[in-house]
Every structure is written in C-alpha cells, then in structure tokens.
Amino acid sequence: MDKDQVSEFTLGLGVDIVGFAAIDDYQSPRSPDPRQILPNVRSMVVVGFREIRGAVESEFPRTAMACRLGSLEIARNAAFRISRLLEKETRTKAVPIAPSYPLEMSWETKGTVADVSLRHAAVAAGLAVFGRHNLAINPELGTQVIYSAVLSELPFTSDEPVEQDLCHDCNLCVEACPGRALDEAGKTEVVKCLRISQPYGINAVIRYFSQMLEKPKEEQLRMLKDPFFWDLYQASFMGYTYMCNRCVAVCPLGEE
C-alpha cells in the first residue's frame, strides 16, 4: 500500500488529519526507542482528531472530561483499524499506539513518560510544531487535537515538516495555567502541572490513604464519606483523570 491509499482509508474513518513519518525522523528525548515495541518498525502513521471545542472550553470540568474520554476512544479505535488494514493488506506487522493509558507506572516515571510521544510523532509526520505550552500545534486545527499513531514495518517516508512558527508567544497559556507550570520558556514543570490537572492521580491516592491509616476509626469513617474519596473512586476506573486543560482551551490558534 502507498501513502495515498492509507490516507484515503484513514480519512474515511472520520480522521481530520493524517501524516507519515520515517521512524528515524521521530525523536523523543524521554520515550523509549520504538524498536522495543516493534523490532522492525520503519515508519509511523499519525492521525489527529479535532476535539469538541464547546466541551474543551467549558468551565464545567466533568463535561470537558467526558468529551476527552470520547475523543480518546475514537482515536484508539482509529489506530486499531488502521493497524488491521496494514497487516491484512501488506502481510507486515503494525502496532496501534493509543493516547493516554496504559503508561509505565513507576516511582521513577510517575506515569509521565509515554511509550511513544504522540506530540513528537505529530511533529515528525509534518502535522504540527511545538508551541510555548509545549503542545503540538497543527496549522489548521491549532492545539485542540487528539493524536494517535500506528507503528509500521512499511517504509513510508516522512511528510514535509511544518516550517512556519505558529506560536505567537501571546502568553495566554502561561497566564492561564493555575499551577504556574509554564513559567519557564521551553519547559513544562510536570509536577506542578499534575498537581492541578490530575487531582485524583496516584499522589492523591497515596496521600489520602496514608492520612486515613493514621486516623482513629471514627475519623476514617468520616473520610470515607468525604466527596474527595468518591472522586478518587470514580477516577480509579475512568483511567484518565485530567481535570484541567486551560493551556489547550485558551490557545487562539486554529480558531475560525
């Protein structure tokens, strides 16, 4: 199959943008070598979906989170179906790379290192450049895009990179960040970000139950009735608990 055939199939899935990257053009400073996942990988197919703007920009966090979960499911499904197509039609191997979980969860990484960085994959595939908020910016869709990808043994060449500097350094993302995680240019202070964006993450779980174990029985029962405990419970099976996306919501790029 050539790139045009794969693109036609992919866009038929409702994908908004699709790009290709030779594996050697994908460079992520923290993620492992994709050859650990697929030893004979030679390329990536990277796809993006425009998020639902009304939900992303909503001040009601559960609405925004529910929409994000829907976008992740669509992106996951697309990567799976593209992988099936490539394996069926070419007799090569492919691996779908979905956004979000599962991640390597360890004390060292704290769930912050993806097996494949989809931001860097989008840049390598000519779909985006990085902005002041360290997120991938697409020339047409801006920042409000969910990406997924497929590792392939096919020798697809990289699409032309985005040459223009799309970010205007308006600093809206910096000013809107409640955790002050973007104050230093070119860096996201992950711990500051996660403290706000994942209030029900692993650190919150450890802290809450450590405190509970030290309390008398009556206080433990009270803590079990606390709304925060119920949010922790819900987050435990949601699998994706980002409750802040201000850097994405305020970015003006991609607006009509």
Q: Is the pLDDT of residue 151 over 70?
A: yes
Is residue 178 a contact partner of residue 61, using CB atoms and an 8 Å limit? no
What gap in Å lies between CA 169 and CA 76, rounded to an integer?
Answer: 32
Is residue 231 a contact partner of residue 237, using CB atoms and an 8 Å limit? no
Domain extents in the chain: 3-163, 172-238
The pLDDT > 70 percentage for the chain reads 98
What gap in Å lies between CA 86 and CA 127, rounded to an integer?
Answer: 21
Q: Is the pLDDT of residue 69 over 80?
A: yes
What gap in Å lies between CA 152 and CA 121, rounded to an integer?
Answer: 13
Is residue 38 a contact partner of residue 93, using CB atoms and an 8 Å limit? yes
Residue 28 has a pLDDT of: 94
Average pLDDT of the residues of the chain: 92
pLDDT (mean) for 18-36: 95
Residue 183 has a pLDDT of: 94
What gap in Å lies between CA 200 and CA 13, rounded to an integer?
Answer: 33
Residue 129 has a pLDDT of: 96
Is residue 132 a contact partner of residue 126, using CB atoms and an 8 Å limit? no
Q: Is the pLDDT of residue 202 over 90?
A: no
What gap in Å lies between CA 53 and CA 146, rounded to an integer?
Answer: 12
Q: How confident is residue 256, by pLDDT bands cut at 50, 70 and 90? A: low
Q: How confident is residue 240, by pLDDT bands cut at 50, 70 and 90? A: low
